Structure 1
Amino acid sequence: MPNEKSTKSAEIIEGAFAVLLREGLATLSYDRIASGANVSRQLVRYYFPEPDDLMLALADRLAETYREALTNGLAGISGPDRLKVFFDFYFDLLEGQAKPRDDQAYDALFSLAAGSAPIRDNLRGQYSLLGLTLTHEIRSCYPDIPMASCAEISYLFVTIMYGHWKMVATLGLSEDHKHIARRSIDRIIASYRALPEPSNDQSAWKT
């Protein structure tokens, strides 16, 4: 059972998340977060004395939401269908398991990462873990594709997926473009299978 401290911390994190989704980064402040969490400003400062601490906790909360959702989506699925679930989930095409609606929050975190090494490291770690996990899923599904090429495909997937949702969240492009982005992943895989020569670059997910 969660204790009072963890409960209050979670409420504050949810308050910050709500403010980011509703108002964006420009208005984010201890006062606005306190209002969103229905707690005092002093309590927010008590649990999160540094703004980066709160944003890191929010980043962890977002990552955990994805892990739980994807774990549920993959439950009992094996073989090539696992890879389809991965791709469909991140483009919000998986029936019965919606992608979290958090693009504005991630937008804000990436903006903050430009001036914060801890936030930058956290986000890089999230996407690198996704890329490495997906690399092995691709290799398991398509053993004819060399491992280095699987890493390249996973890198392309992450950049296309992230780019699509940023174009939707920031520039207002149609969310329906996810179908274009999703189809491109299948075409990329087909092109690697047609030309299975191993890549000379072994560093797709190295920093």
Structure 2
Amino acid sequence: MAVVWPVFQVYPPVHQIWPTILVVVGSLVVVTPFTEPKYYAKSDWQPAATDGGPNDLDGDELLVLTFVATGASRYSDLIEALGVDGTQVNDVVETLEREGLVRRRGYRGRGMFDLALTDAGNRALAEHDPADLVEVDGEYVTATALDVLELLGESESGHDTGEIAEELGLRTTEVTAHLRVLERKGYLTTSGVLFANYRLSGAGESGYKRFVGATRQEAGVTAE
């Protein structure tokens, strides 16, 4: 005991350190209001009045509009699909929302929203007519998503995310984003424990045929 006791003496008594604790806690209380995220973390934020958005969109803004149109309504979808960090996605979405092209819905907590196009956003998308976007009866998919559906349709056993990425020469995260959207549409079924194995559902098969038929018709190609 005589040996251990001096070791404990190096720690100051509580009554000597409580002023430091108060200073740290007080600093957090004072600083927090000034470090809150921008408007996108607030459930009561309202977009500024606009004339429906400008016609000029940069590349990132058009990509976000394109992916949101297909059903990529979550930030994680956009981050993975675009291969950028959350700050970049936030900046683009903030710009689009202030221009009246997208809106946030389904507030689920601090910074957690789903995204949807406004009427102005749909008009802007139609004006720009992205080459990577296919539309049938108001439903959109990307050309990459069609490639995923085609690959899965050719396989009886299905594929996991890594196999799809390798076959199509895409980033795994990009494939993951497309798979999530297609799964929400009901186009895919999954199985497996460690690695999800994807196959086309009945809805996926019919959806793929509809979109392929539309692209062939637009290109003036007659289906065999």
Greater gyration radius? 2
TM exceeds 0.5?
Answer: no
Query: Could you tell me the TM-score, scaled by structure 2's length?
Result: 0.28
- The structure richer in helix per residue is 1
Query: Could you tell me the TM-score, scaled by structure 1's length?
Result: 0.30
